[in-house]
Amino acid sequence: MKKVAVLMGSANDQPKMAPALETLASFGVEATEHVLSAHRTPAAVAEFATSARDEGYGVIICGAGMAAHLAGAVAGQTTLPVVGVPLSGGAIGGVDALYATVQMPRGIPVATVAIDGSANAAILAVEILAVTDAGLAERLAGYRAAWAK
């Protein structure tokens, strides 16, 4: 099974991104956590993104607030699916991060979830991985069935 990278722009974002890691763990999906900034460590972001497929990743989740360029910077460097999580904070409560994450140029998509929606980002990553993993698809169906009760 492919693993999922959970990136965040700052260590301060960890509490908002923790639900992604917890959700992935509940499905038995290996996930790694990384603090990488599109602005403070752009070379490290590019290095991670360009090597992610070779390192066994299948999806990359990126959480960032305010300017929120992390998901776009990663998507520009990889052909793996990138899921952006705009994080709340700043003067307008995360709306700036939402716009920055969702407004990508043609050809460089970022799937975007709700502000602070890291748990849904993880579910989307599981859905993507489940396309080629029957066991994961079965666990996902059980998860959905449990929610329907």
In this structure, what CATH number is given to the domain that contains residue 91?
A: 3.40.50.1970
In this model, does residue 90 exceed pLDDT 90? no
User: What is residue 9's predicted lDDT score, i.e. its pLDDT?
Assistant: 95
Classify 85 as helix, strand or coil: strand
Predicted pLDDT at 91: 85
- Band the pLDDT of 45: cuts 50, 70, 90: very high
CB 124 within 8 A of CB 83: yes
Number of domains in the chain: 1
pLDDT of residue 1: 81
Query: Where do the H-state alpha helices sit in 52-133?
Result: 70-75, 95-102, 118-130
Is the predicted pLDDT of residue 58 greater than 90, yes or no? yes
The whole domain housing 138 covers: 3-147
Give the mean model confidence (pLDDT) for residues 4-25: 97
The pLDDT of residue 68 is 93
* Token output for 65: 């607030």
Q: What value does the mean pLDDT take over residues 2-24?
A: 97
The structure's pTM equals 0.97
Task: Find residue 32's DSSP bridge partners.
Answer: 5
Decide: helix, strand or coil at residue 57.
strand
Give the tokens for residue 30.
């290996």
Mean pLDDT of 40-68: 97
Checking if the pLDDT of 12 tops 90, the result is yes
The mean pLDDT value of the chain amounts to 96
Instruction: Indicate whether 54 pLDDT > 90.
Output: yes
Q: 107 near 118, Cβ under 8 Å?
A: no
Q: What is the rounded CA–CA span in Å between residue 123 and residue 136?
A: 11
